[in-house]
Structure 1
Amino acid sequence: MIKYSTIIALVIICLLLLSTPLIETAQAAEKKEKDKQVEKAREAIASAEQAISEAESKVSEAERTGLEVTDAINALRESKELLSEAKELLSDDPQRAATVAKRAENIARMAVSLVEKASRKEETKTEEQLKNYRELVNETRDIIARAREAIDEATKTGGNVTEALQLIMQAEELLREAESQLKIRMKEAVRLATQARILAEKGLKISENIRKETRARVEPRLKIEEAITQAQQAIEEARSKLSRAGIDENSAKHLREILDQGVELLAKAREKLSMNPEAARALA
């Protein structure tokens, strides 16, 4: 008879023979599932790398143009750290690696959004600055025009406008320089335009004061010249009437002498006009 122990051994051998294919099948299924997870993780890592590359490009461009993107830089750094972690987890825990890689991608895309948001904010700020700059330039040009008008008037009446003219010319030069800087450095353009306005206002003040002084000096002279002109017209009119009056020669001679004296007085008045306006006025 077959011993009991032999039967047990045979049973065990049979079980082993039957279980081996099952174990191999299970292992194969497990490997297949892990391979799928690894593939998904690799796809997630590749997608994260692409998002990070785009974010790096956006951040670099923003930094080149002087845009403030600190938040985006920090987000980009975090996404890179997560990507490194995902790569380390790939072989041991591909499922977790895929999750970490997805987070890295999301944060990289957030970095891009932060750059775009900062860019829009800067554009709005730049538009407002440009508007203010244009207003400043227009106001400065108006001041310069008023100053030049005052300078021209003061020049015609002998006013000393050298300082005012120099200030206005400097202001005009600063405005030209500001325009050349406008597309390069907005802040510098605004600074130059502001300095131009300060000089223009100073030039305007000086030129208006000079115009006021010259008017005060010239207006009495103009009034005296007007009085002399009126006196000349009166003499000419009197001579005309005298020639047609038909009076006797003695009377006419006496009147002509009076008119001649008037002409002499007017000539003296003109001579004294520049030296003693009041005396000239009295003679007129």
Structure 2
Amino acid sequence: MTHPVDNVLSGIREAGRQAARRILPKRARDFGSRALDIISAVRCVGVTGCRRLTAASAEGRSTAMTAFTVRSLAHPIWIRHEQSDVNELVHTVFRKTYGQWLPETAPRWILDLGANIGDTAAWFLSRFPTARVVAVEPDPANHEMALRNLRPYGSRAIVVNAAVWPTDGELVFLAGDRPSGSRVRAAQAGEPTSCTAISIPTLMRRYEIPEIDVLKCDIEDAEETLFRENADPWLSKTHHLCIEIHSPAARAAVLNAVARHGFTGRPYRDIHVFRKTARF
């Protein structure tokens, strides 16, 4: 359960951040953000853990992996020795980016679309001990990491190797220059496909999800298509959204869709949070 005071504090923090963006030069803002990253990391893994994180990020892409015990997670989390995984851990677990303005009643079902290495799902499962999470990730290597990280949570964690899309089918998978930057798109005529597409209604039927209490979405601009096409059936059964929006076209598609269903929203760092239950 999220205490109402936590949501008030989220608003104060974001108001302060927005004020700093207006007043401070970019160099000062970057320094402040980096300082908060370090403070959050020390609080979560200690000084020794921070040194291990620094060593892991310095190696570049590597087959080596390290497990970290984090105060806010019920089980250790594995990361690969590369900057992308370190950044994910800082962004989602240490800084709790997806933990702002959460429902004040404990969620039962959470969809994590673009689950990466399972870091956000692990945070949700630890924060809400009775919740179940369906984590959807198209990148095969990230999917394997998510399986490793979410296995200790047992049947509460369901990991799906697919890309979420308005309809079921097949897509083209495009690997990015970092593990967190892969994308998918529709195939052109005669083009071979390389990724399974699954719709949110199919996920809800398959796992018997009556309503989506929290939907987290970071799918590298595919949110434009997801919210533009066939979104009404599942949005009508969704109560809370945390979305990273990657383009002006995606922003328009998301805002048009959520407006039809009575969501109100506000930004926090690089995500947008929307909810139906009450205004912020």
Using structure 2 for the length normalisation, give the TM-score: 0.15
Instruction: Identify the structure with the greater helix proportion.
Output: 1
Instruction: Identify the structure with the greater strand proportion.
Output: 2
**Larger Rg computed on CA atoms:** 1
